[in-house]
Amino acid sequence: MSTTQILRGGTVTDQRGTRRADVAWVDGVITDVADSIDPPVGSEILDASDAIVMPGLVDLHAHLREPGQEEAETIETGARGAALGGFTAVVAMPNTTPTMDHPSVVRDVLAIAEGASCEVVPSAAMTVGREGKLLSPMGELASMGVRIFTDDGDGVQDAALMLRIMEYASGLAAVTGGQPIVLAQHCEVASLSAGGHMHEGEWSGRLGMGGQPSEAETLMIVRDIMLSRRTGAHIHMQHVSTAEGVELIRHAKADGVRITSEATTHHFTLTDENCATYDPVFKVHPPLRTAADVAAIKAGLADGTIDAIATDHAPHEPHTKEFPFDQAPPGMLGLETALSLATAELELDMATIAALMSWKPAAIAGIGDRHGRPIEPGEPANLCVFDPSERWTISGTEMASRSQNSPYTGREATGRVRHTIFNGDAVVLGGEATR
C-alpha cells in the first residue's frame, strides 16, 4: 500500500502565490494542498514549519563531468549536491569526454542517471566535439528528447556556422512534436579573450593579469541577436556577466527577438576584486566582473530581462586549483549554495526567486510538464523546502561534490534547504541526502 507523505506547517510559494498550506502526496503525485491536512493512518510527516515549500529548483547549467572526469564529479555526486541545493532537475552540460554530441553518449548519461537524486537533463553539443566546425546530429539528438544544444565552454566562433545551426534547428519541430529547440550560447569571442584569466579592468591592470574584456561577451550577444532576428531561432545566453550584455538582451526582448538568458550566482555575488588574492577558486569563465556589472545583473533579474538563475556548477579536482591562477582551470561549485545566496543577495521576494530558479528555467529546458509546476493536486511531487532562517557556514570540503572549489568557503550564510522531494521521495531530509 502506498504511503501518504505530508509536508506540514510550511508556507507554499508557487506561480499562484504564497499561502500557508500543508502538502500531501502519494506515489509521487500531489493529492492535497490545504491549510491543515489530517494525516491518514500510517502517513509520514515531514516538518515544514517556518519553511517555504516551493516547486523543485531547475538548473539550466551544471557540469556533472561524467563521462570522462569522474575524479572531479560524477552524475551521482553532482545530482546529490543538486538535491542538497533544492534542485529536482539539472541540465548537464555536454563538455564531457567523450563529448555529448552523439545519441550513444546521451543514452549513457541517461542510463547512469537512473536512480540519481534528481532528474539529469542532458544537453548536447551543437557541433561535433564542440570544435565549432561541423553540425552535431541535432535531429537524432532532438528525436531522443534533447532540447538544449550548446558548445558551452566555448562559443561558436564562426558566424556562418552559427547561422547554419540556427537555420537547421528551426526545421526540427517535426521531430520534437513542436517543442522548441534552444540554442544556448557561451558568449565569448575567443580572439578578444585570448590570454585573459580575469575581467579586463582596473584589477587586472593592478594585478598584472591578462584580461578578458567585456566586449568578448557582448560582441557575440550582438551577433547572435542579429542571427536570431534573421532565423527566428530561440537563443539562450548563458551566464551573462556584463552590464552591456544585460542591456543588449533587454533591447532584443523589447524588439521581439526569441531570446532568453541566465545569470549565475557568482556573477551577482562576487567581483573581479576577489581575484586580488590570486586564489584560483575565483577563476571562472566568463570572469567575475565589476560592481557595476553585478548591479546590472541584479537589475536584469529583477525586471525579467534575465530569465533564470543558473549555477554553472563546475567541479575541478582540488590539486588543479593549486596551480598558479593563469594555469588553473576556470569554474566553481554552485549547486549547494545557489538558493541561499540568491535569497541573501537579491532584494527579491521569494516568488520571484522561485520563478528564476524553478518554473522559468523549467520552461526553457523543455521540462515544464514535470518540474516547476504549481503545487496543486495532480501535479508531480517535485518540491524544495527551504528554511530561510537557518544559519550555516559554507564549506567546500563538506559538500556532496567530489570537488571542493566553492568560492564561498568560510562564508556565514542564512537560509538552507531542509528537504528536497523528487518524484515523491525525500532525497534530502533535514539537510541530509538520503540517496
- In the chain, % helix, strand, coil (3-state, to 5) comes to 30, 25, 45
Give the Cβ contact number of residue 303 at 10 Å.
Answer: 10
Annotated catalytic residue, options 158, 312, 387, 425: 312
Q: Which amino acid is at 128?
A: V
Nearest to 286 by CA among 141, 189, 359, 401: 189
- Given a contact cutoff of 8 angstroms between Cβ atoms, the answer to whether 370 and 380 are in contact is yes
| Least distance to other proteins, CB of residue 29, Å | 50
In the list 2, 3, 97, 327, the residue contacting other proteins (rule: CB under 8 A) is 327
Among 47-55, 74-82, 195-203, 367-375, the segment contacting other proteins (CB under 8 A): 195-203
- In angstroms, what is the minimal distance from the CB of 292 to other proteins? 13
133 scored as a contact of other proteins (CB under 8 A): no
Query: For other proteins, which residue of 190, 251, 304, 323 counts as binding (CB under 8 A)?
Result: 323
List of residues 6+ apart from 239 with CB closer than 8 A: 61, 186, 262, 263, 264, 267, 286, 310, 312
Site size with other proteins, rule: CB under 8 A: 22
Nearer to other proteins, 35 or 319 (CB): 319
Our CB check for other proteins shows the closer of 215 and 247 to be 215
User: How many whole angstroms separate alpha carbon 138 and alpha carbon 101?
Assistant: 8
Q: Cα–Cα distance between 84 and 360 in angstroms, integer?
A: 20
Complex with other proteins: residue 131 or 322, whichever CB lies closer:
322
CB closer to other proteins, 25 vs 325: 325
CB of 54 to other proteins, least distance (A): 40
Interface residues for other proteins in 209-238 (CB under 8 A)?
209-211
Closest to 297 measured CA to CA, from 347, 359, 364: 347
Say if CB 389 and CB 303 are below 8 A apart.
no
Site for other proteins contains 192 (CB under 8 A)? no
Interaction pattern, residues 273-302, with other proteins; x per rule: CB under 8 A:
----xxx-----------------------
Q: Shortest gap between Cβ of 338 and other proteins (angstroms)?
A: 27
Angle of CA points 124, 425, 40, to nearest 5°: 150
Beta strands per DSSP E along 74-113: 87-92
Nearer to other proteins, 140 or 244 (CB): 244
Beta strands in 129-240 (DSSP E): 148-150, 182-185, 198-199, 211-212, 234-237
Closest distance to other proteins from the beta carbon of 273 (Å): 12
Judged by CB under 8 A, the stretch of 4-12, 114-122, 315-323, 380-388 that binds other proteins is 315-323
* Per-residue DSSP letter, 357: I
Q: Find out whether 43 and 2 touch, Cβ atoms under 8 Å.
A: no
The enclosing H or E element of 106 equals helix 103-112
- 332 binds other proteins per the rule CB under 8 A: no
312 is catalytic: yes
Query: Nine-digit cell at 336?
Result: 549547494
389 burial level (CB within 10 Å; 0-12, 13-18, 19+): exposed
Binding test (CB under 8 A) with other proteins, winner from 36, 256, 319, 378: 319
Q: Which is nearer to other proteins, 167 or 244 (CB)?
A: 244
Rounded distance between C-alpha atoms, residue 268 and residue 298, angstroms:
6
Residue 201 engages other proteins in binding (rule: CB under 8 A): yes
Residue of the chain from 98, 171, 205, 232 that contacts other proteins (CB under 8 A)? 205
Q: How far apart are CA 245 and CA 275, in angstroms?
A: 22
Minimum CB separation from other proteins for residue 402, in Å?
A: 17
Cβ 319 to other proteins shortest distance, Å: 5
Rounded CA-CA distance 342/340 in Å is 6
> CB 382 → other proteins: shortest distance, Å?
40
Q: Which of 42, 208, 256, 378 binds other proteins (CB under 8 A)?
A: 208
The greatest distance separating any two alpha carbons of the chain, rounded to the nearest whole angstrom, comes to 68
- What does the binding site for other proteins look like in residue numbers (CB under 8 A)? 200-202, 204-211, 277-279, 319-320, 322-327
Residues with a known catalytic role: 312
